Amino acid sequence: MTLGYSRIILAGFALYFMSYHPKYCTIAYGISCLLDAADGHAARALGQTSKFGAVLDMVTDRCTTSLLLCYLSSAYPDHIWVFQCLITLDFSSHYMHMYSSLVTGSRSHKAVTSDVSRILKLYYDPRTLFVMCAGNEMFFVALYLMKWVHTPLSTSLGMDVGLLSGYTWPEAMAIVCFPICAIKNIVNIVQLWKASKILVGVDLAERAKAREEETLRAKKT
């Protein structure tokens, strides 16, 4: 739990430095994201997993990413609608998924079976989840740093690096991480769709049960 609170504090520092000190911002943001992976492993190893901790972890993830996307909206005003859509998709997808997990009695929103979705089962494998989340955050951080770093790799390294020579290192990082970011957001769409189907199914089942009970009461009277 201490790691979870540390993440929140570091995210606050990242937000404070975001508009004028990219080095401090990136360090605080990066450590906060790394603690996300360490927090879950530590909680399971020490037997300190809890529903509050799981929800706090997810909320912290959503808020941390959103604060960076809000800054990117101002840094890239021509693409503000893209960042707004990403924020909306991120929150709606994870909220619907978390709520559907609670309604169906799942022990964790990460405990997805292949019957529900093979894609989500693969995504919530710890190794896959780490790569997807890390690549997604690194892409957004790269976009942030592109506004501050303008020296091409060939100049900063003092050597020819082929096709990447004309790019800055944040631009190169963005190119590498973009496919991961794209895949993660496709998974978010799948997650939103599957969670919506589950909740609709629960509603239909509850209504059918209510009608049956009403029919039985009517027969008894």
Task: State the chain's mean pLDDT as an integer.
Answer: 88
In terms of pLDDT, which residue wins out, 185 or 107? Answer: 185
- Among the listed residues 61, 115, 160, 203, the single catalytic one is 61
Separation between Cα atoms, residue 68 and residue 89, nearest integer Å = 15
pLDDT score, position 148: 94
39 noted as active-site residue: no
Higher pLDDT, 217 or 159: 217
Q: Which of 214, 33, 203, 49 is nearest to 130 (CA)?
A: 33
CB proximity list for 2: less than 8 A, separation 6 or greater: none
Q: Are 196 and 89 within 8 A, CB to CB?
A: no
pLDDT digits (tens, 9 = 90+) for 39-76: 666 666 666 667 777 778 888 889 999 999 999 999 99
Side chain identity, residue 31: I
What digits encode the pLDDT tens for the residues 10-31? 999 999 999 999 999 999 999 9
Please tell me the pTM assigned to this model: 0.89
Say which DSSP state 163 is in.
G
The answer to whether the beta carbons of residues 132 and 123 sit under 8 Å apart is yes
Nearest to 144 by CA among 33, 66, 68, 67: 68
